[in-house]
Structure 1
Amino acid sequence: MSKWYVKLFALLIIIGLVTGCGADGSDDDATTDSAKNEENNVSEVEESVVIVLSKDEGEEVIAEEEISINEGDILLDVMKEHFDVEEEGGFITSIEGIAPEENEQKAWMYFVDGEMSSVGANEYELTPGEEITFDFQAW
C-alpha cells in the first residue's frame, strides 16, 4: 500500500510541475505579445514622411506637411495624392502651380534628408521618417 502512495505522490508532483511550467510559458507569451504590440504601435506612428516645399534653396518655405505612407510607396504617387503636381517622364515640373517660366533656368529639385536624390520621383521608394524637400531653384 505504501508503494501506491509513493506513486500517487510522485504523480501529483509531476502534474504540479508540468502545470507550473505551463503557466510560466503563458506569462512569457503574454509579455512577448505585449512587446510586439508596442513595436507595432511605434512603427505605425513612425510610418510617415515630412514633405517640405520651398523656393530658392530654402529661402521661402511654401508648405510643410507630415504625410502617412505605406511600405513601398513611390514619391511621385504620394506627391500627386497630396499636392497639385504636374510631371513629364517621371520628373515633377510644377507643384502647387509653381513652374519655370519660358527660358527660366529653374526647376524643382528634391532632397532626401538634406542629400540630393540621384533618381526621379517616379523611381524613389519612400522610407518612414524621411524628410523630403522639394526646392524650386536655379540649375
Structure 2
Amino acid sequence: MKQWLFRFGSFLVAIALLVGCGNEDSGTTAPSSNQPSENQVTQEEQAEETVLITISKDDGAEYLHEKEIPIEEGDILMDIMEENFYVETEQNGEFITSIERLSAKEGEKKGWIYTVNGEMPNVGATEYELKPGDKVVFDFQAWE
C-alpha cells in the first residue's frame, strides 16, 4: 500500500510540475489591447510608405488593375507608372497615350485622366511628387 501511495504521489508531483512549467512565463508579455504589436506597427508603417494605383475606364465603370506600390520620398508619379505598368507616351514622354495597352482608337475622343485622393492635380504625371498613402486613379474616359 505504501508503495502504491508513493507512486501515486510521485505521479501527482510530476503532473503538477508539467502543468506549472507549461504556464511559466517565458519572459515575454502579451501586448495590451491599447498598444499595437510590433507586427501592427510594421504594417502601418509599410502602408504609409506605399501608394495605391488603380487603372479603370469609363469613369470607374470597369476596373482593369489595382496595385499597392512602395515608394520613397520624392518619387515622381510617371516614374512609378513606367516601373510598374506598361505605359506609352507622346510629346517627349509627358502625355500618357496607353496604359496596359489600352489606348484611344483613331478618331476616338478618349484619353487618360488621373486623380490623386479624389482630386485632379494641377500638374502632369511627370511633375507630380507622390506622398505616402496617396490613392491614384488613372481612368480611360471620353474627354468631350
User: What's the TM-score once normalised by structure 2's chain length?
Assistant: 0.66
1:125 matched to 2:94? The reply is: no
1:111 matched to 2:118? The reply is: no
Which residue does the alignment assign to 2:10?
none
Structure 1 residue runs of 4 or more that deviate by more than 4 Å after TM superposition: none
Which residue does the alignment assign to 1:74?
76
Q: What root-mean-square deviation, in Å, do the aligned CA atoms of Structure 1 and Structure 2 show?
A: 1.8
Looking at structure 1, the residues matched to 48 and 117 of structure 2 have their Cα atoms a distance apart, in angstroms, of 15
Looking at structure 1, the residues matched to 47 and 125 of structure 2 have their Cα atoms a distance apart, in angstroms, of 24
C-alpha displacement of 1:69: 0.4
Looking at structure 2, the residues matched to 113 and 136 of structure 1 have their Cα atoms a distance apart, in angstroms, of 17
**Runs of at least 5 residues in structure 1 that lack an aligned partner in the other structure:** 1-36
SS at match of 2:104: coil
Task: State the AA in 2 paired with 1:111.
Answer: T
Looking at structure 1, the residues matched to 87 and 63 of structure 2 have their Cα atoms a distance apart, in angstroms, of 17
Asked if the contact 2:89/2:97 (under 8 Å) is kept, the reply is yes
Looking at structure 2, the residues matched to 58 and 44 of structure 1 have their Cα atoms a distance apart, in angstroms, of 27
C-alpha displacement of 1:43: 3.6
C-alpha displacement of 1:44: 4.0
C-alpha displacement of 1:113: 0.8
1:99 matched to 2:103? The reply is: yes
**Runs of at least 5 residues in structure 2 that lack an aligned partner in the other structure:** 1-37
How many residues are paired up?
102
1:1-139 equivalences under 5 Å are: 41=42, 42-89=44-91, 90-139=94-143
Looking at structure 2, the residues matched to 122 and 43 of structure 1 have their Cα atoms a distance apart, in angstroms, of 26
Looking at structure 2, the residues matched to 52 and 82 of structure 1 have their Cα atoms a distance apart, in angstroms, of 12
Aligned-residue sequence identity (percent) comes to 54
User: What's the TM-score once normalised by structure 1's chain length?
Assistant: 0.68
Looking at structure 2, the residues matched to 102 and 70 of structure 1 have their Cα atoms a distance apart, in angstroms, of 38
- Decide which structure has greater helix share: 1
Asked if the contact 2:48/2:132 (under 8 Å) is kept, the reply is yes
